[in-house]
């Protein structure tokens, strides 16, 4: 595992791919998932420091991702939002889809440091 953290990134499309590339460039290990089955398979066989749930899913799908990731795997969750009010989803951090990669990296570092881990990202 990288000293900068191992991230499970759940998303669809080009924005998810671009987000993952930015995080890898910043020094994070990133594993992509596109469905709940991927999440269960990956979390059952690997250790992750946190998960990011992208905005391309329906509200119901995002709610299910957050519930499973936090409830079943006890991981902090960053939720990427597109302007809809999703505070009821109880993610550990909310980032707007148009925020810069640096904003996302800051949120990751804040969560990892809050959990006693150290994130090194430039």
Average pLDDT in the chain? 86
Neighbours of 15 (CB within 10 A): 15
Q: Which domains does the chain have, with CATH numbers?
A: 6-114 (3.40.50.2300)
Alpha carbon distances (Å) from 8 to 23, 60, 83: 11, 19, 23
Tens of pLDDT, residues 57-92? 988 999 999 999 999 999 999 999 887 656 667 899
| Degrees to nearest 5, angle at CA 55 with 52 and 58 | 115
Tens of pLDDT, residues 16-41? 889 999 999 999 999 999 999 999 99
Q: Looking at the predicted structure, is the pLDDT value of residue 1 above 50?
A: no
pTM: 0.86
């Amino acid at each position: 595992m990288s000293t900068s953290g191992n991230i499970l990134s759940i998303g669809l499309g080009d924005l998810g791919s671009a987000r993952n590339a930015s995080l890898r460039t910043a020094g994070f290990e990133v594993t992509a998932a596109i469905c709940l089955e991927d999440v269960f398979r990956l979390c059952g066989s690997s250790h992750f420091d946190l998960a990011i749930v992208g905005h391309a899913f329906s509200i119901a799908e995002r709610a299910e991702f957050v519930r499973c990731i936090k409830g079943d795997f006890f991981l902090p969750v960053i939720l990427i939002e597109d302007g809809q009010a999703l505070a009821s989803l109880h993610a550990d951090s909310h980032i707007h889809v148009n925020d810069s990669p640096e904003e996302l990296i800051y949120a990751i570092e804040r969560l990892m440091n809050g959990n006693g881990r150290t994130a090194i990202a430039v």
